Amino acid sequence: MVKTPKASPAQQPPAPSPKAQPPVDDTPPLDFPIVGIGCSAGGLEALERFLTNVPAGCGFAFVIVQHLDPTHLSALPDLLQRFTSMPVTEIEDGLRLQPDSVYVIPPNKDLSLLHGKLHLLEPVATRGLRLPIDFFLRTLAEDLKEKAIGVILSGMGSDGVFGLRAIKEKTGLTLAQDPASAKADSMPHSAIQAGVVDIVAPPEALPGRIADYLRHPAHAQLFEINPRVAILTALDKIVILLRDRCGNDFSLYKTNTLNRRIERRMAVNQIAGIDDYVRYLRDNEHELDILFKELLIGVTNFFRDAEAWEYLRHEAIPALLAQHPDGKSLRAWVAACSTGEEAYSLAIVFKEAIAEARPERRFTLQIYATDLDTDAIEQARKGFYPDNIAADVSAERLARHFTHEESGGYRINKDIREMVVFAPQNIISDPPFTKLDILTCRNLLIYFGAQLQRKLLPLFYYAINPGGMLFLGSAESIGNAAGLFAPLTKKGRLFRRLNQPLPLTALEFPRKLPSETSETGRPAQTERPDNLGQLTDQLIQQTWAPAAVVVNGDGDILYFSGRTGKYLEPAAGKTNINIHAMAREGLREALTGVIRNALNNPLPILINGLRVGTNGGTQIVDLVVQALDKPEPLRGRVIIVFKDVRKPPSRRKSGKHAEDEPNSTLLQELRQAREALQVTHEEMQTSVEELKSSNEELQSTNEELQSTNEELTTSKEELQSLNEELQTVNAELQSKLDDLTWVRNDMTNLLNSTEIATIFLDSAMNLRRFTTHATKLFKLISGDVGRPLSHIVTDLDYPKLKDDALEVLNTLIFHETVTATHDGRWYRVRIMPYRTQDNVIDGVVITFIDITEIKLLEAKLRTQGA
């Protein structure tokens, strides 16, 4: 392994002055690419295919982060050194990166990068869920910005997704191994599914794609040559193509933002000129969709800028609640919510703030979360996130507000999910939500031009109630709208809406074409004659027929007929179209239990003389409630018909009649109230008994399931960690086995090439192994291994062979002699102890060297001498 030399004393920075000024890092910035590589199970093979195809002298530095067993030394640097001529180094703390080098993370460490130096950190947890790849790639993105390059290879889990997302946010390059070529496809598949990968290819193709990207002229100086003259026209064309394809106008985005994103796509597609890229976009709608996603920059995570969220929880929200009475329903809008992390973060923080401040106060928060990306909205609605969110969400919050699923990942709990309504919206052209108490628009304004910011901030002011809050990103400010908002924190991320008059001329409300005009501005054509009958029926129904509604057995309204506004009104808060919630005063009590009675009684139920409150007055109404049996689609439904009753003309009556009339009315209302109360009481008694029984069973089941779930979650995390460690150990053992196979092949060829017959015996003088040339002296076959040597037929005239071998085994002194064969051949026999690497004697080794020619030469010389 190659170790980076430490700086000599002459290279050390000078000692600080007596004024104790902080040391200044004057290390020059790195001028070569750094590639961060993350892998896990099956990563050794992928790394071999990757490194063997790195171009010689590429000038890159490769930093490899693999899931390793924290309790064992890693042989990964030695294994990787066989695949590349570049030096492979196990990282030490403070190591400065060098080009044309490979660096490997040591076991049981987290790795970070700062100013070109690698720093090792102790992991928070030795076992369980750890995300070392995400941790390093995030620091790589922060340190190198658009020069960061991240690669995800074979591995289990979803580690690396958030790291690639951070690199993509900084306009760096992200790559992943093709899942079809990976032994474990979970990590690359998760990254691709998250939409954070620019290039997908087999491992052997990735180094070439990186080199092509960095050599491309679009990556170097595409937008530096007179951008206003040479590129502005082409940029306008791209904006027009995007508007025609996606229906969204990016002309008011910052030019630098558009330039960087277009530059990345040109480099990825290896297109040199922007005019060529315009032609490519016109011929490739899929590339338009990818560019649209790039421009949306959907990068977010839970509790981003944790300090701001803590202030919101402990200071801002309690102060907001103090301004409102108990039971107040608050409204919030999360603009540009992406995949929903910030919307759910707001819901969690609001719940925690209420529980921490005054739990007895009942507040509700309705959150409207919107984004331009419909795919991101669909993902947000699912409320499902990978295990990686454990890096941003505390264990306490994960246990309280999330449910860990067996397939891996966390799902947001139902109580948090029901607080958020997701919808696609274009914040530039669609009307805003209004009467808001909280509005968050984080890390969106930084991509908008000044003109668009001047348009949106007054709209935000208009949408927020006086005293409400505006929550912006860490790099955003209110600019020229300082007279509309006051900062709540020194860093200026949270603002309070002031109560200042705002002229309507400062607002630019989004406009839609009126429904009665066509796209050309001409009035819509009149209805065709064949619709005349239908229109007439509708007119009669809406004007002269009594108002009515059709409901199901639970009272949910399925259809309105006529004008029902005098009898029904929308309830405050979350949308609810149940008739018991919408009925006006005087109807609500009378309708209690009537729907159920109607379903059990085929005859219509008449309720007369109800006094219904309407707009400050009262109206006498008769009700007809009847279950529907025909037609078949309406079976099981109930129709409720409202009939207005004219008040009788007022006449002067005698005192007795004048007193009896209100008494009779009161008695009728009292009778109706008693009947409704009796029905309600009976229903409640039955429901309470059923609920008690169900609640006891559910509590018992819930406790058992909760206990089982906790055990399974713990076991799964341990098994997953153990599995990854075993995968790594298995890969190293497989590599060692391959080495042993090659060593055995080498030894076999060596022994055969010496033409020396050799046999190996164990301590019991049984045959352990033999070479090919030994078969010329002994009648040996492969099945003789394990048999005593004395049982093997031999051509040697050496009856004391076994005795000499036992003597060597006992005395540990080698023995050498010369013996002949029955056919006249001569051999020098050497018997030596068999020593293991642990210096243990475990048998003998006998070699037979053919000296026949030497003996014949000796005999010939004797004859000549005689």
> Which residues are catalytically annotated?
40, 67, 159
CA distance 569 to 54: 71
Q: In what order do the strands lie in the sheet with 110-114?
A: 95-96, 117-121, 110-114
CA distance 380 to 339: 4
CA distance 431 to 425: 9
CA distance 648 to 660: 15
Across the strands, what pairs with 606? 624
Contact 612, 619 (CB under 8 A): yes
Length of the chain in terms of residues written: 866
Cis peptide before 631 (omega within 30 of 0): yes
Across the strands, what pairs with 469? 438, 496
Contact 715, 127 (CB under 8 A): no
Cα–Cα distances (Å) from 718 to 127, 187, 386, 644, 721, in that order, read 7, 18, 17, 71, 5
- Strands 61-66 and 101-104: what pairing? parallel
577: Cα separation from own chain's centroid: 36
Q: Please give the angle made by the CA atoms of 146, 444 and 512, to the nearest 5 degrees.
A: 135
Residue 683 belongs to what H/E stretch?
A: helix 655-754
Nearest residue to 89 (alpha-carbon basis) of 4, 166, 211? 4
Residue 693 belongs to what H/E stretch?
A: helix 655-754
- C-alpha R_g of the chain: 42
CA distance 199 to 269: 10
Residue whose pair of structure tokens reads 């429901």 in the numeric block: 687
CA distance 494 to 312: 8
CA distance 824 to 855: 10
- The secondary structure of the chain in percent helix, strand, coil, rounded to multiples of 5, reads 45, 20, 35
Amino acid identity at 344: Y
